[in-house]
């Protein structure tokens, strides 16, 4: 199949009969303003409005259309970076609390599905972590995870099931986990909001937040005055200390049709090789049919090799294990992994009355829901049993310090290399169909030629904190390696902590 036949979008069907929401076009007031209409923001809106708070929810695009709608829909108690990695030398309590809190979040999702009669293809499935080779470190990782899961009291097994679709050498199974269609879930949840307490706005990008008492949020056409602000934006907008402790990464997903039967419904995590990104596989369906979905974390944001040809490596992996008939959907998403492997959830240490929820890595549906639970309690002045584990002000564990230093060394060396390296000074040296940062009269320009006569010349300086953006040839975007802001070829903010887009120097549109 040619790449041009693939639909570059997630496969999830939206919930039927969902109406859109208006754009904010006036000045309003609320107790709580929430930025971001993914699972974190919508769940927080629901919990707070049920508690009697007046809530305003602002989404830049469509409810559920960002990271939530690009996720796998898997709900599991373990974590992508492994439970065993959050056990400190003399403290197993944190790991146990992580599991307990994640189970509570999964239970909330299930109870909301029941309460609001949300048809989102919920099913109970096992979660399998396995490897298909005898690499000693992979075997050790699975054994460590087995011990951690046992310690946490999860219902587990280590026998390869009959007709397992991989030749597993070692396996850990955690029973009674779950899967949903994440887009339908979050859209239906938003539709369940009580309009007397919660106003929802789409196409309402927040361009500025002033912390304080009250806080002020501005969009292009309106503003919100609110006592509290929740940044449910994946990475908080603006400058926050936690951004120095998180690595932004792009991940890539495919949904394929198989020639034969699909494997049994389950969450399959192929550990791949120790230290390398794993493959996450599940079965799923939409109105067009049944698919096998695979997700693979590929590279740090802004570090994409121009020769990278997604979906080739992910497709090659699938074809190695299954009889693939056709690749139907392909898409990408972003994740932020914290250095100590736990998210940051709670009141910002540096901005008054602003709450953040970030660093979910690949575990965002459960952590997003948990964030809403913790922040709801904080807003209402209720002590939450897990707030201290995820406190953005927590001290980094000793073992995470080298990673923190390495990450920030890489950020600064990226910045240094980008600014002193010799760039071309000629726009004509930018190849057709490609983007490149060039230096003209001392200014760094991000130049893209679309191959149809169009030239897009923008400032290459990321407005977040001044790093230089890099061209992402596959997604045709300018990506910032420092904290993950991404911009369209026209310079608009696509995602990440930057509020403003790249400054436009010159744009000549090409032929359509």
**Residues near ligand FES (CB under 6 A):** 462, 464-467, 480, 482-485, 496-498
Angle between helices 93-115 and 364-380 (to 10 degrees): 90
Tokens 């953005």 correspond to 392
Q: How far is the CB of 477 from ligand FES (least distance, A)?
A: 13
- Of 407, 423, 405, 398, the residue nearest 482 (C-alpha): 407
Assigned token pair, 307: 């020769």
Cβ(70)–Cβ(49) under 8 Å?
A: no
Indicate the residue among 423 and 464 with the shorter CB distance to ligand FES. 464
Indicate the residue among 63 and 446 with the shorter CB distance to ligand FES. 446
Q: How far is the CB of 129 from ligand FES (least distance, A)?
A: 32
Q: How far is the CB of 29 from ligand FES (least distance, A)?
A: 31
Extract the runs of DSSP E, i.e. beta strands, from 54-105. 55-58, 74-75
Q: How far is CA 468 from CA 250, 300, 483, in A?
A: 18, 15, 11
Extract the runs of DSSP E, i.e. beta strands, from 232-366. 246-258, 267-270, 279-286, 289-300, 324-338, 344-347, 354-358
Indicate the residue among 339 and 365 with the shorter CB distance to ligand FES. 339
CB atoms within 10 A of CB 370: 28
> Cα separation of 221 and 205, whole Å?
10
Indicate the residue among 28 and 465 with the shorter CB distance to ligand FES. 465
Q: How far is the CB of 496 from ligand FES (least distance, A)?
A: 5
Indicate the residue among 37 and 302 with the shorter CB distance to ligand FES. 302
Indicate the residue among 152 and 482 with the shorter CB distance to ligand FES. 482
Indicate the residue among 321 and 483 with the shorter CB distance to ligand FES. 483
Q: How far is the CB of 461 from ligand FES (least distance, A)?
A: 9
Q: How far is the CB of 71 from ligand FES (least distance, A)?
A: 22
Indicate the residue among 224 and 498 with the shorter CB distance to ligand FES. 498
Indicate the residue among 181 and 358 with the shorter CB distance to ligand FES. 358
CB contact set of 83 (below 8 Å; sequence gap of 6+): 95, 98, 99, 145, 148, 149, 152
Q: How far is CA 252 from CA 72, 142, 294, 355, 377, in A?
A: 11, 24, 8, 29, 35
Q: How far is the CB of 70 from ligand FES (least distance, A)?
A: 20
Q: Is the peptide bond before 375 cis (omega within 30 degrees of 0)?
A: no
Indicate the residue among 178 and 498 with the shorter CB distance to ligand FES. 498
> Cα separation of 289 and 287, whole Å?
6
Instruction: Kindly write down the DSSP assignment for every residue of 13-39, as one continuous string.
Output: PPPTT----PPP-SEEEEEEEEE--SH
Q: How far is the CB of 355 from ligand FES (least distance, A)?
A: 20
Pairing verdict, β 27-35 and 55-58: parallel
- Of 4, 5, 11, the residue nearest 331 (C-alpha): 11
Which spans in 161-224 are helix H?
Answer: 182-191
CB contact set of 261 (below 8 Å; sequence gap of 6+): none
Q: How far is the CB of 298 from ligand FES (least distance, A)?
A: 19
Q: How far is the CB of 44 from ligand FES (least distance, A)?
A: 24
> Cα separation of 361 and 179, whole Å?
18
Indicate the residue among 263 and 496 with the shorter CB distance to ligand FES. 496
Pairing verdict, β 208-210 and 198-201: unpaired
Q: How far is the CB of 439 from ligand FES (least distance, A)?
A: 19
Pairing verdict, β 354-358 and 223-231: parallel
């Amino acid at each position: 199949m040619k790449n041009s036949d693939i639909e570059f979008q997630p496969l999830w069907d939206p919930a039927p009969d969902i109406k859109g929401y208006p754009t904010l076009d006036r000045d309003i007031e609320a107790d709580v303003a929430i930025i971001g209409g993914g699972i974190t923001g919508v769940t927080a809106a629901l919990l707070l409005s049920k508690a009697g708070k007046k809530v305003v929810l602002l989404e830049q695009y469509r409810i559920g259309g960002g990271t939530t709608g690009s996720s796998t829909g898997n709900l599991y108690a373990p974590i992508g970076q492994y439970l065993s990695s959050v056990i400190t030398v003399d403290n197993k309590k944190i790991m146990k609390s992580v599991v307990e809190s994640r189970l509570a979040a999964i239970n909330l999702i299930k109870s909301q599905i029941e309460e609001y009669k949300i048809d989102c293809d919920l099913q109970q499935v096992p979660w399998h972590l396995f490897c298909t080779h005898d690499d000693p470190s992979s075997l050790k990782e699975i054994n460590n995870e087995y011990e951690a899961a046992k310690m946490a009291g999860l219902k587990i097994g280590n026998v390869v099931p009959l007709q397992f679709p991989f030749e597993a050498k070692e396996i850990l199974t955690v029973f009674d986990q779950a899967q949903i269609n994440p887009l339908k879930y979050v859209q239906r949840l938003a539709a369940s909001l009580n309009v007397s307490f919660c106003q929802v706005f789409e196409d309402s990008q927040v361009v500025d937040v002033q912390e304080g008492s009250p806080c002020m949020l501005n969009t292009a056409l309106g503003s919100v005055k609110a006592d509290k602000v929740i940044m449910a934006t994946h990475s908080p907008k603006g400058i926050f200390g936690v951004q120095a402790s998180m690595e932004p990464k792009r991940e890539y997903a495919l949904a394929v049709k198989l020639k034969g039967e699909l494997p049994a419904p389950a969450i399959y995590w192929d550990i791949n090789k120790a230290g390398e990104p794993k493959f996450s596989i599940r079965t799923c369906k939409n109105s067009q049919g049944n698919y096998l979905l695979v997700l693979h974390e590929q590279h740090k944001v802004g570090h994409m090799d121009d020769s990278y040809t997604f979906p080739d490596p992910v497709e090659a992996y699938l074809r190695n294990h299954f009889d693939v008939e056709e690749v139907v959907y392909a898409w990408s998403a972003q994740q932020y992994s914290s250095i100590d492997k736990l998210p940051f959830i709670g009141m910002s240490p540096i901005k008054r009355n602003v709450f953040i929820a970030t660093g979910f890595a690949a575990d965002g549906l459960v952590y997003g829901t948990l964030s809403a639970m913790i922040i709801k309690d904080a807003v209402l002045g209720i002590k939450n049993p897990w707030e201290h584990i995820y406190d953005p002000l927590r001290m980094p564990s000793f073992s995470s310090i080298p990673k923190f230093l390495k990450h920030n060394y890489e950020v600064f060396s990226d910045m240094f290399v980008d600014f002193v390296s010799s760039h071309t000074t000629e726009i004509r040296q930018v190849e057709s169909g490609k983007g490149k940062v060039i230096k003209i009269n001392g200014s760094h320009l991000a130049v893209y030629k679309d191959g149809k006569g169009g030239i897009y010349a923008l400032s290459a300086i990321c407005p977040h904190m001044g790093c230089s953006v890099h061209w992402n040839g596959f997604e045709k975007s300018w990506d910032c390696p420092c904290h993950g802001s991404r911009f369209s070829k026209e310079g608009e903010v696509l995602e990440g902590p930057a509020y403003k887009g790249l400054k436009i120097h010159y744009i000549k549109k090409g032929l359509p």
